[in-house]
A and B are shown apart, each in its own frame.
Chain A
Amino acid sequence: MLGWYVAKRILLAIPTLFGVTVITFALTYLLPGNPALVKAGPLATPEHIREMERQMGLDQPVVVQYGRYVTGVLRGDLGESSMTGRPVLQDLMQRVPATLELTLASLVVAVLAGVPLGVIAAVRRDGIVDHVSRLLGVAGVAMPTFWTGLLALYVFFYALGVAPPPLGRLDNSVTPPMTITGMYAFDALLTGHWRALGSALHQLVLPALTLGFSVMAPLMRMVRATMLEVLESDYIKAAWAAGLPRRTVIYGDALRNCLIPVITILGVIFGFLMAGNVVVEVVFAWPGIGNYAVTSLMSKDSGPIQSFVLFVAVVYVLVNLAVDVVYGLVDPRIRLH
């Protein structure tokens, strides 16, 4: 039963991925300016450009071009970046760990702040925490993430002087740890490079808080809403009636069941995180894939941007697939639908 459910979900993801490549192909195809013209350079003669077009297959029918595009993508060919002069996939892979590190740290911030706040808000409904968390939630959704980041920088870097300058992942004087995962904080921990660990965490705090804050609100609302529902249910009433201690009922029975629906929202949160990453990486000069896309943009190189869009979309589809599978694992009822 479970195997069948997983197989069905994976099969359903295939047409979606196909659709994704159609859209990114269309975007690449719609690009302003002929790609051959861009590649041939400003001094190219018309013959040279036509030759380039022929070499790049731009004189072929759209369907043939799409076929080439997809086979290229499947082989990992995402084109070349005129900014770095290297294959885009290589550029992206080099920057993925930085983005992953920031994303994971932000997720930790969001969960550590959002779940307890949601629980307390539900347990003490209309109490102070409930009101404060509602306020935080409303603000978190309305504040543009880049602005939150700038505010944090102004307060903690400029005014208080406790945060490092927004110049990337490590202080200039610190040598990066040996590469294992590519995530500096992890690698430094694994290799016992304490100075790098300290510097990496110091650099990570503000961007992670900024991004975490921006996605905390939906998580908090979800936890609060499901917690309220769970607290009304019969088995919790039975637990109260059995005289179990408050802590056991709330954190043992209720919270465990309330976290299952929360898994479903992780897919949505991941989408917000990817969007937030772009602006937060720009604000903090964090050398991740979002920053890469924006820098390519400034050098009028839109190839890497479409590859970035494709890359993020594929990861997003896979994350949602994983969320569905995990949800099916922890909640057997889903599999039966």
Chain B
Amino acid sequence: MALGVVALLILVALVAPWIAPYDPDAPDAEAALQAPGWRHWLGTDLYGRDQLSRIIHASRVDLLVALSATAIALSAGIVFGSLSGYRGGWTDQLVMRAVDTVQAFPSFILAMGITAALGNSTANVVVAIAITHVPIYTRLIRGEMLRLREMEYAEAARTVGNRERRVVFYHLLPNCFPPVIVQATLAMGFAILTVAALSFIGLGIQPPASEWGAMTAEGSGYIVSGEWWIFLFPGLAIMVTVLAFNLVGDALRDILDPRMRGV
């Protein structure tokens, strides 16, 4: 069920321009601040822009940012984690101290600092989130590597004369993947929450681009006058998306790591 939701979300993001009923950026003065109805299913904002179309388009931004950040963090984590876990010694010390330092910050606060320093752009948000997520994968892969490198098949791979790089990336790494996939799925949800919160406070993705957190921020001004649909639906989109990724992550963990079932 959750997997279906994730698939649907990705599909919606892919075909956004074809399924959105209106142009997400087109103002329509006649239709400003309309409550949800037949013409505009989720209502319109101050400029008369169709909320549903904006939410559909925003899914591209939110999913793409979260996905790219996760991909970058995962790649960096694979390199650092494998090196650190397989080599040990001072490489391990160096990598782990760096990881400790990054984790000395609450991750959202560090992401705030990085985005503020690099400047507001979508790419910078990706970088900020990727940096705060690297330690998660590095630690995980290091732990797996430490365990796997002592296994007999690793010993065998070394004995027959494989080079280190081949042993690590060809023989050991694929066996690290089950917990990594689970973690990456769960981290996607967290990344989406971070993107949304950053734009909510005005960092990163800038209006008029549609983004769920920024749209919620725009809607927050209308609570005192009762226009609830402007803040409600973008937030709901965030929640459904994060929920779907979390549930898929939990389900994957049950399948890939039965020891954790029911915890």
| B43 surroundings in chain A (CB, below 8 A) | none
Q: A278 contacts the other chain (Cβ, under 8 Å)? A: yes
Q: How far is the CB of A274 from chain B (nearest CB, A)?
A: 5
Report the bound CA distance from A270 to B216 in whole Å: 25
Contact code string A131-154 (vs B, CB < 8 Å = 1, else 0):
000000011011111110011011
Q: A27 contacts the other chain (Cβ, under 8 Å)? A: yes
Cβ contact within 8 Å between B107 and A146:
no
| A139 surroundings in chain B (CB, below 8 A) | 239, 243
Q: How far is the CB of B51 from chain A (nearest CB, A)?
A: 15
Given the known inter-chain contacts A150-B223, A158-B223, A309-B110, please indicate yes or no for A145 contacting B197, CB distance below 8 A. Answer: yes
Stretch in A90-98, A110-118, A197-205, A310-318 with 4+ CB within 8 Å of B: A310-318
Cβ contact within 8 Å between A147 and B238:
yes
Cβ contact within 8 Å between B118 and A19:
no
Interface size on B, residues (CB 8 A): 46
Report the bound CA distance from A150 to B232 in whole Å: 8
Within 8 A of A (CB), among B175-227: 189, 193, 196-197, 200-203, 213, 216-217, 219-220, 223-224, 226
Size bin of chain A's contact surface: 35 or more
Within 8 A of A (CB), among B96-116: 97-98, 100-102, 104-110, 112-114, 116
| A308 surroundings in chain B (CB, below 8 A) | 109
Query: Which of B108, B113, B118, B246 is in CB contact (< 8 Å) with A24?
Result: B113
Report the bound CA distance from A138 to B246 in whole Å: 8
Report the bound CA distance from A291 to B117 in whole Å: 18
Stretch in A49-57, A79-87, A248-256, A294-302 with 4+ CB within 8 Å of B: A294-302
Q: Which of B101, B116, B203, B224 has the most CB of A within 10 A?
A: B116
Q: A186 contacts the other chain (Cβ, under 8 Å)? A: no
Query: Which of B112, B114, B235 is in CB contact (< 8 Å) with A147?
Result: B235
Q: B20 contacts the other chain (Cβ, under 8 Å)? A: no
Cβ contact within 8 Å between B213 and A27:
no
Query: Which of A151, A298, A305 is in CB contact (< 8 Å) with B112?
Result: A305
Query: Which of A17, A23, A150, A306 is in CB contact (< 8 Å) with B102?
Result: A23
Q: How far is the CB of B213 from chain A (nearest CB, A)?
A: 7
| B224 surroundings in chain A (CB, below 8 A) | 157-158, 165
Given the known inter-chain contacts A138-B247, A143-B239, A316-B106, please indicate yes or no for A19 contacting B223, CB distance below 8 A. Answer: no
Stretch in A28-36, A64-72, A169-177 with 4+ CB within 8 Å of B: A28-36
Q: How far is the CB of B230 from chain A (nearest CB, A)?
A: 10
Cβ contact within 8 Å between A279 and B243:
no
Report the bound CA distance from A150 to B233 in whole Å: 12
Cβ contact within 8 Å between A153 and B216:
no
Q: How far is the CB of A264 from chain B (nearest CB, A)?
A: 15
Report the bound CA distance from A16 to B98 in whole Å: 9
Q: B242 contacts the other chain (Cβ, under 8 Å)? A: yes
Query: Which of B113, B118, B200, B223 is in CB contact (< 8 Å) with A305?
Result: B113
Report the bound CA distance from A28 to B189 in whole Å: 29
| B231 surroundings in chain A (CB, below 8 A) | 147, 150, 154
Cβ contact within 8 Å between B219 and A275:
no
| B216 surroundings in chain A (CB, below 8 A) | 144, 146-147, 150
The 10 A-B pairs with the shortest beta carbon distances in the complex, nearest first, are: A19-B101, A147-B235, A275-B108, A309-B113, A271-B106, A142-B243, A142-B242, A27-B117, A32-B119, A305-B116
Q: Which residues of A does B touch, CB under 8 Å?
A: 15-17, 19-20, 22-24, 27-28, 30-32, 138-139, 141-147, 150-151, 153-154, 157-158, 165, 225, 270-272, 274-275, 278-279, 282-283, 293-294, 297-298, 302, 305-306, 308-309, 312-313, 316-317
What are 30 A-B pairs at a CB distance below 8 A? A15-B100, A16-B100, A16-B104, A19-B104, A23-B110, A27-B117, A31-B117, A143-B239, A146-B197, A146-B213, A147-B216, A151-B235, A154-B223, A158-B224, A225-B263, A272-B106, A274-B106, A275-B108, A275-B197, A278-B112, A283-B220, A294-B202, A297-B201, A297-B202, A302-B117, A306-B117, A309-B109, A312-B106, A316-B104, A316-B109
Q: Which residues of B does A touch, CB under 8 Å?
A: 97-98, 100-102, 104-110, 112-114, 116-119, 189, 193, 196-197, 200-203, 213, 216-217, 219-220, 223-224, 226, 228, 231-232, 235, 238-239, 242-243, 246-247, 263
